[in-house]
Each structure stands twice: as structure tokens, then as C-alpha cells.
Amino acid sequence: MNLSEFDSACLAGDLGEASQFAMSILVRIGEIQSASEMIDITRAHIDSTLFQGDATLEFAEKLAHMDAKVVVPTTLNVSGVDEHGWQDWAVPPEWAEKAHRQMIAYQSMGTEATWTCAPYQVSEKPSFGEQIAWGESNAVAFANSVLGARTIQYPDLLDVCAAITGRVPAVGLHLNENRAGEILLKLIDIPEDLQTDDSFAPVLGHLLGTIADDRVPVVEGLTVELAEDHLKAICAGGASSGAVHLFHIVGQTPEALTLAEAFQGHEPTEVHDINLRDLRRIRSELDSSQGKSLDMVVLGSPHFSFAEFRKLAPMLEGQQCHTGVDFLVTSSRAMVKLAREAGMLDTLEAFGGKVTVDTCILTTPMLFPETRHLMTNSAKYAYYSPGLLDAEVAFGSMADCVRSAISGRVQTNNSLWDS
Amino acid sequence: MGDFIQGKTLVEGKATGPALWSDKPLSFWGGYDQNTGEIIDRRHPLVGHIGANRIIAIPHTKGSSTSTAVLLEAVRRGKSPAAIITTGVASFLALASIVANELYDISFPVLMVDEDDFDKLESADWVSISDDGVIEIGADPQPTSPS
């Protein structure tokens, strides 16, 4: 790999111990990836913030002790603890203390304390064509697919190295030729009222990941323009069931004004026709519930947006959550602040709901052991909860989730899916 | 005398142990318990198997950026695989091994093989890996020992 003068100076330790450490790791990974050179990035999003145990803490504190500082605007992904709310849940104090130390370590590096898996909601969005280094799979898919920015999926530990040096190996989706569509998914006769329902996008995302795996899928046949939250849901679904870091939607996403542009003039290597029956089958894969029992409704993976709070609040107005059900929204500080100012948090709390910030049910051990039956409208929660939390998950729309929280039993209205 | 495969070394090292093979990619976050080394993704064919100190052959990792952190923690706890063999460039997995070496002076080999060779590993009971990336497929030398 050709190194610039700057890269070599970093490696030699001229810019300090942290830059040297970070560059040595970047260069080793660049060599493994067969990169020919390194390029500049102008933004980073650090997923290394997730506390996974002593190793991630020791890594963060090692960098902090080297006085590591980021050299590009850098947002932080979720942490391992809601530092103000963890006492209400099952989080062990030792976990909270260590996860909080890890937060302090990353904050000390000159980063923006966003603590969210949806940085595109709370910070300036990267622009089209901008080279960035983002971790967190849904955010990577969003940056590439929805914004047209350029990032590979940075693993934990490497994203912070990129932020400290402002340099990354020039590989994968950083390069134009790797951004062409590879396979085509043609949606056939999907009703428009289903396309606009919030249960549709997570299922479409789960389908993309299942079929595409790590290839770039192109979706044709959507007749409704998807809202940002629906695009977010596709990203989360596709990056959970598969390794989808970039997808194109013909006529909607910025590198796919036409089918030909999405494929950069090439032919698709595979074409899949997808009808409503296929989508129903895929939807059933997201649902691991065995019956109607319900302990908790959880919304907000990726983190709940202000638009979602605005949609949810009227559904909760004048209603009461069942006493046997917890109702939780996971979101960011910034979105919760907006919701509070708009009075929506009062509505949520009057309903009997709670909010957790900075983290989520998958990244902090907050759930009590008796919480076994979950319901969500998130493909990501539905995908990961069985393995990570040993919980059953019912999948439905936001309205289904609210209806079920009120009645205390899983209730889904499938009429849109049955037409 | 077993079959030999030449792998491409991403992270070098020696390893020997029972093999675990699947043609389905695995996310280590949500798929691998860092405290026990058990594979916990209920959608994965290897669910319930112990990956700790075994040689895991999977096409690639998928999903979360946190797979690297999970593997690093597994190394710290002595519950990481003895080696990982993939068909793709497994930079997430290699990174865990590289950082583990920086932090704890421990690493595990990560090798890449072509798809035909990967398929030969399906029936392997026991695999040995040498520093230069040669993979020997053999039978379990101690078939009666508890696993």
C-alpha cells in the first residue's frame, strides 16, 4: 500500500502515540483489504462506544490515556448505559459504572456526545459523495443508500482509528465502481396503502438482507415515496438479516434516478420477482412469538425519531397501557428533548410508557429476567432479541404495538397484508 | 495423513482443534456468546455449538459493527475460536485478532480460502493451521475425549 507523507509521519509517531497506534492498525487492515492507498475522510461515527465488557473499556481507556483526539467531526453511537435512567432497570451497578467510564473515555476525544445509532437524525447529515467513516450497520446503510455519502461498514475499534487520523484505506464502497447495483428485486403489485404502513419497510429491509446478503440490491416497483423513518427501517432490517451496506431504490435514492444508473450500466446478476405472498412469508420470519403473551412493547431501533414521536403521541392520547405490559421507547437525547418540548413525553408517561436514551435493550442489560415476550415494529429488535435476550418477539405495526400494549395481549391487524 | 489446503493468511499463527463449518454467514454480535463461546443465533445452523477454542469456518461475518468487539472480549475471556477460516476478506475478524495482540499479547489466526477449498472443510473433524497458512484436514486425534 502506498502511504502518504502524513500516513508515514503518523506511523513514525511524529503526531503522537495515539495517531501512531491508530495508523498502525489502519495500515494492517488496509493491507489485508489489498488497498492501494489511504484517503481522507471528513466525518466519523464511532460504534466502538458500545460496552461489551472489559476489553472494549480497556481499548477506549488506552486511547484516552494516549490523549487521543479526533481530527474530523465525530458523532458517537449508543453506549452501554443510560447514565441517568439505568437504576430503574435491571442493569448491574458494575456494568453501569464501567459502561459510563467508556462513555467518558470517548467523550474525552473531542467528539460530539450524540449517543445514538441514528446520527443522521441529530447531527449535520453527510453530503452526497462525501467520504466518511461510519460504524453501526443501519447508519452505514443510511449514509450510503439514502444520503449518497461513501463509507464501508467500519467495525468497532477501527472507526475510532479513522476519526483519530482522518485517514482510511481506499476500499469497498468508498470507490465508485463498487457502488453499482448487483441484483434486482422487482416488487410486483404491492398495494400502496401497505407501502406507506410502518410495518412494510422493516419487512422489505429483512427481505433485502435475506436475498442480497452482502451484495448491492436494487429495488424497483415502489410506487410511494418512502419517508425517512421508513428508509431507516429498511436499512436496519437489511443490515441485520444480511450485510446490506448499500441499496438503491429506483427513482428514490440518489444514485438510482433510473434503473440503468443504479446498475451503472451493467446487467443485474440475478432478478427476483417479489409479490405480496413473498413479503408475507418474510414477515412471518420476523415473528418468533409462540402465542399472545406480552411482557413488553419496545419501539425505537434505530432510535425513535421526532417524527415517530409525533405519530405515536396521538395513538396514546387518553389510553392506558395494560398493567402487565412495559411500554418502552428507545431514542436519543436530542429527539427526546424535542419530544419533551412538544409535550409528547407527558403523553407517553400518562399512558404508562417510559423512555430510555443513549442506549437500547440490545446494548445494555436493562430487561428484567421475567421479560420474555416482546413486541416491536423494528426489524432489528425482532432479528436480534431472540439470540441476545433469549426472548420471543411479536412483530407488528406501531398501531398494532399500541393496541397490544393496551389490551395486554399480542394483537395484529393483518388486513393490509392479506389483500 | 489428511488433505492440505493453502489458505491466504490475514492474521498469522498456528492453531489446531475440532472444526465447525457452515456455509451460512454469522454475525458475532447476537450470534456468539463472548462469555461462553456458544453460538446463539437461533437462525444459524450452528446454534448451540461451542465455538471457543475450535476452528470456525464460515463464508463471512455479517450484520453488526460490534462483531469485532464481541470477539475481542471473547479473546480476553479465553473463549474465542482457535482460528477462523472464511472465503471473504474477514477484516472485522482479523481486526479483533490484531487488537487483541496489541492489548493482551494474544491473537488467533485468520485465513481466507477459495470456495472449493472451503467446501472441503465441510466434512473436516479436525483442522491444523500452520504459520504459513497451510490447513491440514484430518480426523480427531482423540475421538473419545470429551469436547
CATH number where A225 lies: 3.40.1060
Phi-psi region of A45 (alpha: psi -120 to 50; beta: other; left: phi over 0): beta
The DSSP result for A77-138, as a single string, is ---S--TTTGGGTT--HHHHHHHHHHHHHHHTTT-B----S-HHHHSPPPPTT-B-EE-SHH
A318 shares a domain with A189:
no
CB–CB of B65 and A62 under 8 A? no
Select from B31, B95, B103 the Cβ nearest to the Cβ of A155. B95
* Domain edges within chain B: 3-138
Residue B139 has pLDDT above 90, yes or no: no
Residue B7: phi and psi, rounded to 5, are -95, 165
Residue B146 has pLDDT above 70, yes or no: no
Which pLDDT value is given to residue A294? 98
CB–CB of A56 and B69 under 8 A? yes
A410 shares a domain with A272:
no
Name residues 111-140 of chain B within 8 A of A (Cβ): none
Residue B109 has pLDDT above 60, yes or no: yes
A146 shares a domain with A80:
yes
A167 shares a domain with A235:
no
Is residue B23 within 8 Å of B59, Cβ to Cβ? yes
Distance CA A387, CA B48 (A): 11
A206 shares a domain with A80:
no
Best residue of A25, A52, A151, A286 to probe chain B, by most B CBs closer than 10 Å: A52
Select from B10, B30, B100 the Cβ nearest to the Cβ of A384. B30
Q: Which of A175, A202, A222 is the last residue of a domain?
A: A175
Amino acid code (one letter) for A150 = R
Query: Cell for A176?
Result: 465508485
Which pLDDT value is given to residue B63? 62
Chain A CA closest to residue B44: A387
* Residues of B noted as catalytic: 64
A14 shares a domain with A146:
yes
List beta partners, residue A167. Answer: A40
Report the b/e string of A123-152 with b at 16+ CB within 10 A: bebbeeebbbbbbbbbbbbbbbbbbbbbbb
Is residue A150 within 8 Å of B65, Cβ to Cβ? no
Q: A76: part of which helix (H) or strand (E)?
A: strand A74-76
Q: Band of the pLDDT at B142, cuts 50, 70, 90?
A: low
Distance from the Cα of B144 to chain A's closest Cα (Å) equals 31
- The number of domains in chain A is 3
- Judging contacts by C-beta atoms under 8 Å, the chain A residues touching residue B60 are 214, 243
Query: Cell for A258?
Result: 433510473
Q: B85: part of which helix (H) or strand (E)?
A: strand B83-86
**CATH number of the domain to which A362 belongs:** 3.30.499.10
Which pLDDT value is given to residue A272? 98
Q: Band of the pLDDT at B147, cuts 50, 70, 90?
A: very low
Three-class secondary structure of residue A198 per DSSP? coil
pLDDT in tens, B43-91: 899 999 999 999 999 998 876 788 999 999 999 999 999 999 999 888 9
A337 shares a domain with A220:
no
A145 shares a domain with A12:
yes
Residue B42 has pLDDT above 60, yes or no: yes
Q: Band of the pLDDT at B10, cuts 50, 70, 90?
A: very high
Number of A to B CB contacts under 8 A, please give it. 112
Select from A50, A240, A243 the Cβ nearest to the Cβ of B25. A243
Q: Which of A160, A175, A190 is the last residue of a domain?
A: A175
* Sheet containing A392-395: order of strands: A353-357, A326-331, A296-304, A373-376, A392-395
Place domain B3-138 in its CATH homologous superfamily: Phosphohistidine domain (3.50.30.10)
A411 shares a domain with A358:
yes
Q: Which of A257, A285, A313 is the last residue of a domain?
A: A285
Distance from the Cα of B50 to chain A's closest Cα (Å) equals 15
Name the DSSP class of B143.
Answer: T
Over chain A (419 residues), the average pLDDT of each successive run of 10 is 97 98 98 97 97 96 98 98 95 98 98 98 96 96 98 96 98 98 98 97 98 95 97 96 95 98 98 97 95 97 98 98 98 98 98 98 96 98 92 97 98 91
Question: Is A240 in the B-facing interface, judged by CB distances under 8 Å?
Answer: yes
CB–CB of A155 and B103 under 8 A? no
A141 shares a domain with A123:
yes
Range of the domain at A11: 5-175
Compute the half-sphere exposure of residue A239: CA atoms within 13 Å on the CB side of its CA.
33
Is residue A142 within 8 Å of A232, Cβ to Cβ? yes
Chain B CA closest to residue A153: B65
Best residue of A63, A157, A241 to probe chain B, by most B CBs closer than 10 Å: A157
Omega of the bond leading into B146 within 30 degrees of 0 (cis): no
Distance CA A104, CA A125 (A): 25
A26 shares a domain with A169:
yes
A267 shares a domain with A200:
yes
Which pLDDT value is given to residue B61? 84
Chain A CA closest to residue B94: A29
